Chain A
Amino acid sequence: MSEKGWKDLAAGGKITEPGNAAQYKTGDWRTFIPDVDREKCINCLFCYLYCPDMAIEVKEDSTLGEIKLDYCKGCGICSSVCPVKCIEMKKEEK
C-alpha cells in the first residue's frame, strides 16, 4: 500500500472506488485465529451474520465458505455465537 500524493486524488477529495478499504488488510491486528472444524459445522451461518469484519464468506449453496484472514481481527464473536462450538480461537503463531 503506497501513499497517494495530492495529484492522484479526485477533485474535492472524493473517493471514487466503493469499498476500497478492502485494500487495507486488518488481519495483522490479530492475536487469535479461528480454527473451524468443518465436520462439526451445521452451516447455520451465524458466524457470517455476526462477523463485524465481513470476513466470513458464504458459498453459492448457502454453506460456510472461506474465512478471509486478510480481514479477520480475531475478536472471537464467531466462536462465541457458534451453536455447535466448531470454531476454536487459537493463539496465532507468526
Chain B
Amino acid sequence: MKLNIKDLPKIPERLGPGHRLCSGCGAPIVAKMVLMGTKDPVVVTNATGCLEVATTIFPYTAWKTPFIHSAFENSASTAAGVEAAYQSLKRKGKVKEEVKILAIGGDGGTYDIGLQALSGALERGHDFVYLCYDNGAYMNTGIQRSGATPRGSSTTTSPAGEAVPGKQQFPKDLTAICAAHKVPYVAQGAISNWKDLITKASKAFAVKGPAVLNVLSPCPPGWKHADDLAVEISEIAVNSKIWPLYEIENGQWKITYRPRENKIRPVEDWIKMQGRFRHLSRKENHHIIDEIQQWADENWDRLEKMEKATSNQGDSEEKQK
C-alpha cells in the first residue's frame, strides 16, 4: 500500500495538544508518526522521561489511548504484562478486537536503565512494539550523559573543559543489540524521512512478536540548536550517515535509505549545527571530528557488509525447500 500524506489525518489522533514538552521538541513528532503506523486501538506504556513527564502532568493527560506510566527501567516489562493479560482475555473471548501494544522509552530508559527489561521482553517473545526516542542524553533531568550520547558531546556530567573535551566514549549500538535477540523486526528511523518511518512503524505493528524502533529525536535545549531545526538536523544526521536508516527483518539487514552522492554531507556539518559540540571547533579538538567521521564511515561499511551477508538468506532457504 502506498503511503499518502492525505490519508494520515484520517487515522485517529492518539497524542493530543496541550502537552508541555519544550517548543520545537522532536519527541512528540516521533510518537505521533509511529502511532500513524496502525489504525487499531493502542495501549501505551511509557518509561519515565521527557515524553512521559510532560504529556501526563497530573491531573491531565495528552494521550487519547490507555496509558500506563511505569518506572524508569520497566516500560518493556509493563508492556509484556499488558500483552499477557490481553492474550488471556482474548482466549476467553472477553476481548474480540485487535489491540496493539506500544512501549516507549527515551534513550536513558532504553540504552541504560531499561536495557535488561527490554532484553527480557524481547527474549520472551511478547507481541509488542518498543519505541526508543533517542535524544542522546538524560534531557528530562537536565542533560546528563547516557549510553546514547555521541562522542565529544558536552553534557552536565561530561562537560567540555580544558582537560576533557566532552564525552569520551562512542554511543552503543542499540539497534544491533536488539537485532542480536533475533526478533522479527528491528529498525532505525528519523523524522526527516517520514514515509520511511511510518512504513517501518506499520511493519512493526503488523509483525507477530516483538519489534523495536529506534528513532532519532532532536532536543533544542540539550543539543543547543534553534527551535525550528528539528527536521533539518535529522535530515543532516541521516545524510551524513551518522544516523543511518536501516531495518532488520527476520534476520535480513537492509539499508532503507542511501543518500545520493550530491546529498552526502560530512558529519562536521551536523556537528556545527549544535551547541553541545561547540568546543570541537577549536583547533586542538579537531581530531575528535575526524574520529567521529571515521566511526560513522566504519559503521556504514559494516551495515553494507551485513546487508550483503544476509541478503541471500531468504533465497537459500527457499532453495533448500
Contacts and interface: CB of A to CB of B under 8 A. Distances in A.
A57 B191 CA distance: 20
Nearest to A20: B60
B228 A76 contact: yes
Contact of A45 (B5, B18, B229, B231): B5
Interface in A67-94: 68, 70-71, 73-77, 79-81, 89
Interface in A12-31: 13, 15, 17-26, 29-30
Contacts of A26: 17-20
A51 to B, nearest CB: 8
A29 B277 CA distance: 28
Interface string B53-76: 001111111111100000000000
B62 A52 contact: no
Given A15-B60, A50-B29, A22 B228 contact: no
B9 interface: yes
Given A13-B58, A50-B29, A62-B6, A21 B231 contact: no
Contacts of A62: 6, 9
A52 B62 CA distance: 12
Interface of A is mostly: loop
Contacts, number: 123
A76 B16 contact: no
B29 A22 contact: no
A80 B231 contact: yes
A11 to B, nearest CB: 13
B233 to A, nearest CB: 10
A58 B60 CA distance: 25
A8 to B, nearest CB: 8
A21 B232 contact: no
Contacts of A25: 18
Contacts of B131: none
Contacts of B227: 74-77
A30 B267 CA distance: 32
A52 B9 contact: no
Interface in A23-66: 23-26, 29-30, 44-46, 48-55, 58, 62
B106 interface: no
Interface residues of A, number: 41
A7 interface: no
Given A13-B58, A20-B60, A21-B17, A49 B24 contact: no
Contact of A79 (B15, B29, B61, B228): B228
Contacts of B194: 49-50
Nearest to A3: B59
B23 A29 contact: yes
A75 B65 CA distance: 26
Interface in B227-257: 227-232
Given A18-B63, A19-B64, A52-B28, A24 B20 contact: yes
B67 to A, nearest CB: 8
B84 interface: no
Interface of A: 4, 9, 13, 15, 17-26, 29-30, 44-46, 48-55, 58, 62, 68, 70-71, 73-77, 79-81, 89
Given A45-B6, A71-B17, A77-B231, 5 more contacts: A18-B63, A18-B64, A19-B64, A54-B17, A73-B24
Interface of B: 5-6, 8-9, 13, 15-21, 23-29, 32-33, 55-65, 191, 194, 220, 226-232
